Structure 1
Amino acid sequence: MDPGPSSSQEADRSIIDCSIQSGDSVLLKLPNGDVRSVKVDADATITLGRVGSFSANDLIEQPYGLAYEIVDKRLKVMPPRTLQEVEDTDATNELINDGQSVQPLTLEEIEALKQSGVHASDIIKKQIEQHANYSLKTEYSKEKYKKRKEAKYSKSFATIEPTLFNVCEYWFNKDQNRIRDLRADTLSQMMNIANIRPGGRYLAVDDASGMVVSAILERMGGEGRLLTICDVDSPPAYPVMTNMNFKKHIFASALSSLNWATVQEDYTPVMAPTEPSDGQFHSDRQKSRLNKRKAVSESLTNTREELFAGEFDSLIVASEYDPFSIVEQLYPYLAGSAPIVVQSPHGQVLAELQAKIRTIPGYLGPAVSEAWLRRYQVLPGRTHPMMNTSGSGGFLFNVTKVYDDPSASSVMVHRQHKKQKSEAAKVGQNDPADTCLSVPESLDMDIVT
């Protein structure tokens, strides 16, 4: 009997739409390999530079992962590409002379073909036919030649599914400083060490443009609570979350924010009045404004009470501020055995954090690590590592919270009692008459014989 999808799988499907909706931010992969983020609004026009422009309505309600070609400002779905077997050949590149004479088709002629509406594939085919040394190329060189020409003349693109890996790759290649050099493999290690799962309660300090918050929300699947601590009065705007296209009800039920001032237990919020001074509302606008103030005040109070109640499952930090002060401030609100994960693009910062925490009894097993990633090019007939790769995806510090309670060392106490009993048993075997005369000195009583 098929048990059907689990609750976590149903939650995963509910937090992100499987098709493109109006208002979504969609990642598009262009022919030259670049990835661009565009906002899809109904009845709007999307422009992709030399690739062309088209109506956004053609993308709405379409699934992710399809490839499109722009034809007369309309989108045409392209058939998926299949891997082809590479034929063995004895050709080499040693006799090829890459001069201007090998390609008689001039730039003016190519522009004339483009202006006349000739398809990109026909232009590439015409270039191949007139290329003097094309037949001397190896099969691999021919494939590279075609890809270069397609990147130059093709008017096509493909939509990318907004998974956490794809979004992290996009931001890492676009501006890795904005996400604190947080690479996809490092982010996955953070989620694994912090044990992020549906139904958990987590604390996060995210100065990585919302990359950490997006990862936690995706892992939670709409179940649980995430409380973020920030340095602004209003809830922070996380640009990474716009590319994830989470449904709006996720934020209302799972995500709350506090600034560092309201985290202090002795802090008294200064709130604007929520009731009219004379006890009566003079207009609907005044009533709506005061009701919003009251809702904000109640939300702040409830969120602070939730934080001070503690028992959060883990703490994840990716901040530009001193990590020790952050961990020290939020440590009391964590449950026992809660993991603490801190990310930084600089290893020295985490090394100093480890040195400080190592001397404090309430932390167990502080460690600093760095993930290393090598990318491989996997094509039919050949596989090799990429020539260039990223230097680092950031450093990670992790530690486990423990309670500093002397009575928790029950193992040692048990061993001491066991040793005393064994010694008493040996004494009793040697002198049975003394077995009844062993009385603790702390007891003030007489022994009657």
Structure 2
Amino acid sequence: MPDRRKDIYEGAVVVVQKGPYMKTCRVSQGRSFVFGKKGEGQFTLNLDGALGCAFGSSFKMERISNKLFKIIQIKENTNMEDIVKESGEDNRNICDDGRSQKLSPEEISQLKDSGLTGKEVIQTLTENSLTFKSKTKFSQEKYVNKKQRKYDEVITLQRPSLRLLNNMYYTQDPLKIANLRIDMLSQILCYANVQSGGRFAVFESGSQGLVTAGMLHRMGTTGKLVQVYQGYHPQREAVDLMNFTEQELEVLSFINFSKLPDLDLESLKNGKESQTRSAAKTEVIAENREKASEDIKVEAKESNGESEKMCVDEEMKKVPAEAPKEGAGDEDNNKSAFKRPRKFVRTLVEDVEVSSSVLGGQIDGLVVVCRQHPVNITRELLEFLKPGHPFVVFSPYKEPLMDLFMEVKAQGATNLRLSETWLRHYQVLPMRTHPEINMSGGGGYILCGARVMSQ
């Protein structure tokens, strides 16, 4: 029985990493996944060989057919010392004119298709390079590492984490997550004082559920987290990719913005339940009652697991299964024992009841992450925040937060701070530590503060 925290099990989501390329896949027996763009660079990979192996293991891609590969676990990657025999003192006399490699692209492609291993292909390339031996050891290592990513055909299966998911989304398209970098995400969690046992609310749109996943990861199995959303469904793609257990998902509940409860201080003192707010009372709701009723039916059906879709298997294809063993006559015995994890641990009605109870009792922290103008949303949600407790608002643009700054200041907020973080990555290697040449242009803006109430 594999350890679900350390080993890859059936139904687990893994981050497949091949050089800088990353993709999430849900491992399932007898299924394969398509990688790369359409054309010659596209290939299909079967991940059955990863079941039972530890997260972080490296695997060798072995060709089954033209573009179908299986994976075999390897203990050691290509060692540069086996390839580099001698090196030069400096690179001043090396001229990069594109003619240093004797082999043509067609000959290199034939080498790759002839069945040679990645190490043998790299060895052949270095032997046919006119300038490889005269390069310094550092340059040779950089050259070999570059060729390894291209020809070695080694992948690593990582356990999904906030950093990996954030880097994957940011590399694909920063606008897909509203320019939310990992350093800004960590600051949001810090400023909101997200911790185990607390009661928090988050409004998230346009960031693939990364903030909700980060808050849920910090809270563990104790506390309450309410995700407020607009439209038909909450954004929770990152939550589904984090391999949370059902016990951890019980902390999370959902409520539509149109169903927020009324907060009456007198009723709270008397212990009475709060009533549901009328949809006409809010200024930011665009959906009508007919769409809301359809939403209830769709989400209730999804909560029962009848029409649930796996967000990580968009390009998944079936691989021919092995012949059934003798004695396996029933169809149920031929089916996999894997049960798809539930996306929603409660029904829609139960989620609204739990969320209304948490918001009615007031929350310890509020987080708003959205692309749209946050003034109306933040104004409505600040009513549920306890006095003296923090709120954090993230936006990819500065101007909406400047408007919100004046709005919350007039309402009585204190310790307000509008900030932007400047981030630059460093390469840290022996005798070669320096800032990286390329850096991100911006990671968005954060407005944080605390709510206060006048006597």
Superposition TM-score tier, normalisation by shorter sequence? 0.7 to 0.9
Aligned 8 A contact 1:53 1:70 in 2: no
Q: Secondary structure at the match of 2:175?
A: coil
**Structure 1 residues 326 and 58, CA, compared in 2 at 3 Å: closer, same or farther?**
same
**Structure 1 residues 117 and 87, CA, compared in 2 at 3 Å: closer, same or farther?**
closer
Correspondence list, 1:123-134, <5 A:
123-134=121-132
Q: Give the equivalent residue in structure 2 for 1:106.
A: 104
**Structure 1 residues 42 and 93, CA, compared in 2 at 3 Å: closer, same or farther?**
same
- 2:277 equivalent among 267, 270, 276: 267
Aligned 8 A contact 1:38 1:46 in 2: yes
The amino acid of 1:329's aligned partner reads E
The CA deviation at 1:80 is: 6.0
**Structure 1 residues 132 and 240, CA, compared in 2 at 3 Å: closer, same or farther?**
same
Once residues 122 and 320 of structure 1 are traced to their aligned partners in structure 2, the CA distance between those partners, rounded to angstroms, is: 50
**What number of residue pairs does the alignment pair up?**
365
Aligned 8 A contact 1:193 1:341 in 2: yes
The CA deviation at 1:38 is: 2.3
Q: Give the equivalent residue in structure 1 for 2:353.
A: 301
Q: Give the equivalent residue in structure 2 for 1:279.
A: none
**Structure 1 residues 98 and 388, CA, compared in 2 at 3 Å: closer, same or farther?**
closer
Aligned 8 A contact 1:377 1:386 in 2: yes
TM-score between the two structures when normalised by the length of structure 1: 0.74
Correspondence list, 1:112-123, <5 A:
112-123=110-121
Once residues 299 and 376 of structure 1 are traced to their aligned partners in structure 2, the CA distance between those partners, rounded to angstroms, is: 44
1:232 matched to 2:231: yes
Q: Give the equivalent residue in structure 1 for 2:60.
A: 69
1:17 matched to 2:42: no
Q: Give the equivalent residue in structure 1 for 2:409.
A: 358
Once residues 338 and 232 of structure 1 are traced to their aligned partners in structure 2, the CA distance between those partners, rounded to angstroms, is: 28
The CA deviation at 1:24 is: 2.8
The CA deviation at 1:101 is: 4.8
Correspondence list, 1:153-164, <5 A:
153-164=151-162
- 1:60 equivalent among 51, 63, 71: 51
- 1:28 equivalent among 16, 34, 40: 16
Identity of aligned residues (%): 27
Tell me, which stretches of 5 or more residues in structure 1 are unaligned?
1-13, 273-287, 289-293, 406-449
Aligned 8 A contact 2:375 2:404 in 1: yes
Once residues 132 and 192 of structure 1 are traced to their aligned partners in structure 2, the CA distance between those partners, rounded to angstroms, is: 53
- Greater shift, 96-105 or 20-29, is seen at 96-105
Question: Which structure carries more helix by proportion?
Answer: 1
The amino acid of 1:306's aligned partner reads V
The amino acid of 2:361's aligned partner reads A
Aligned 8 A contact 2:204 2:370 in 1: yes
Tell me, which stretches of 5 or more residues in structure 2 are unaligned?
64-69, 263-275, 280-288, 294-305, 307-345
1:167 matched to 2:165: yes
Q: Secondary structure at the match of 2:213?
A: helix
1:133-188 per-residue CA deviation (whole Å, 9 max, x = no partner) reads 22211112211221222222121111223121221111121222121111101110
Once residues 98 and 353 of structure 2 are traced to their aligned partners in structure 1, the CA distance between those partners, rounded to angstroms, is: 73
1:41 matched to 2:24: no
The amino acid of 1:331's aligned partner reads L
Q: Give the equivalent residue in structure 1 for 2:423.
A: 373
1:402 matched to 2:452: yes
The amino acid of 1:210's aligned partner reads G
Aligned 8 A contact 2:204 2:235 in 1: no
1:282-341 per-residue CA deviation (whole Å, 9 max, x = no partner) reads xxxxxx9xxxxx96445433432332232x100000023332222221222111211010
The CA deviation at 1:57 is: 1.8
* The structure with more radius of gyration: 1
Q: Secondary structure at the match of 2:194?
A: coil
Q: Give the equivalent residue in structure 2 for 1:183.
A: 181
Correspondence list, 1:132-147, <5 A:
132-147=130-145
Q: Give the equivalent residue in structure 1 for 2:384.
A: 333
Aligned 8 A contact 1:51 1:156 in 2: no
Once residues 439 and 379 of structure 2 are traced to their aligned partners in structure 1, the CA distance between those partners, rounded to angstroms, is: 36
Aligned 8 A contact 1:83 1:380 in 2: no
Q: Give the equivalent residue in structure 1 for 2:301.
A: none
Once residues 134 and 358 of structure 1 are traced to their aligned partners in structure 2, the CA distance between those partners, rounded to angstroms, is: 63
The CA deviation at 1:99 is: 4.5
**Structure 1 residues 320 and 241, CA, compared in 2 at 3 Å: closer, same or farther?**
same
Q: Secondary structure at the match of 1:195?
A: coil
Q: Secondary structure at the match of 1:358?
A: helix
Aligned 8 A contact 2:59 2:72 in 1: yes
Q: Give the equivalent residue in structure 2 for 1:255.
A: 252
The CA deviation at 1:87 is: 12
**Structure 1 residues 324 and 111, CA, compared in 2 at 3 Å: closer, same or farther?**
closer
The CA deviation at 1:126 is: 1.5
1:211-262 per-residue CA deviation (whole Å, 9 max, x = no partner) reads 11001000001211101111124x52422223212123322x2111111111
The CA deviation at 1:47 is: 4.1
Q: Give the equivalent residue in structure 1 for 2:342.
A: none
**Structure 1 residues 83 and 136, CA, compared in 2 at 3 Å: closer, same or farther?**
closer
Aligned 8 A contact 2:181 2:443 in 1: yes
Aligned 8 A contact 1:226 1:254 in 2: yes
**Structure 1 residues 122 and 201, CA, compared in 2 at 3 Å: closer, same or farther?**
same
The amino acid of 1:46's aligned partner reads F
Q: Give the equivalent residue in structure 2 for 1:316.
A: 367
Once residues 102 and 83 of structure 1 are traced to their aligned partners in structure 2, the CA distance between those partners, rounded to angstroms, is: 20
1:375-430 per-residue CA deviation (whole Å, 9 max, x = no partner) reads 0011232110011100111111011112211xxxxxxxxxxxxxxxxxxxxxxxxx
**Structure 1 residues 241 and 303, CA, compared in 2 at 3 Å: closer, same or farther?**
closer
Q: Give the equivalent residue in structure 2 for 1:245.
A: 243
